[in-house]
């Protein structure tokens, strides 16, 4: 009997993680993640989540700072 395995829908990728905290938007580039190719949902290892939290708490100096416009979404 020839069993077919379901196609792999997860890929290892580097993503950009964005979070808003205390009125600041923090962008973290090159974050390792498993990404579902069908939905785009991102999954992070516990170690990666710990590093993200450390960065958000300000335990590292940013590599660079960018200025970006902010728009209101009005109906």
Which percentage of the chain shows pLDDT scores above 70?
89
Q: What is the mean pLDDT of residues 15-31?
A: 94
> Strand 42-43 and strand 24-36: pairing?
antiparallel
Domain annotation covers residue 73: no
Domain annotation covers residue 18: yes
Domain annotation covers residue 13: yes
Q: Domain range holding 12?
A: 7-34+44-66
pLDDT attached to residue 75: 72
Q: pLDDT confidence of 20, banded at 50, 70, 90?
A: very high
Domain annotation covers residue 62: yes
| H or E, element range at 18 | strand 10-21
Domain annotation covers residue 58: yes
Q: pLDDT confidence of 53, banded at 50, 70, 90?
A: very high
Residue 24 to residues 10, 12, 56: CA-CA distances in angstroms?
Answer: 31, 28, 10
- For all residues of the chain together, what is the average pLDDT? 90
The count of domains in the chain is 1
């Amino acid at each position: 009997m020839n069993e077919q395995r379901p196609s792999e829908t997860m890929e290892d990728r580097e993503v950009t993680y964005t979070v808003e905290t205390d009125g600041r938007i923090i962008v973290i580039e090159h974050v390792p993640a498993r990404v579902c190719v069908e939905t785009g949902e991102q999954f992070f290892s516990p170690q990666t989540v710990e590093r993200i939290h450390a960065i958000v708490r300000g335990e590292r100096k940013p590599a660079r700072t960018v200025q970006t416009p902010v728009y209101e979404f009005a109906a």
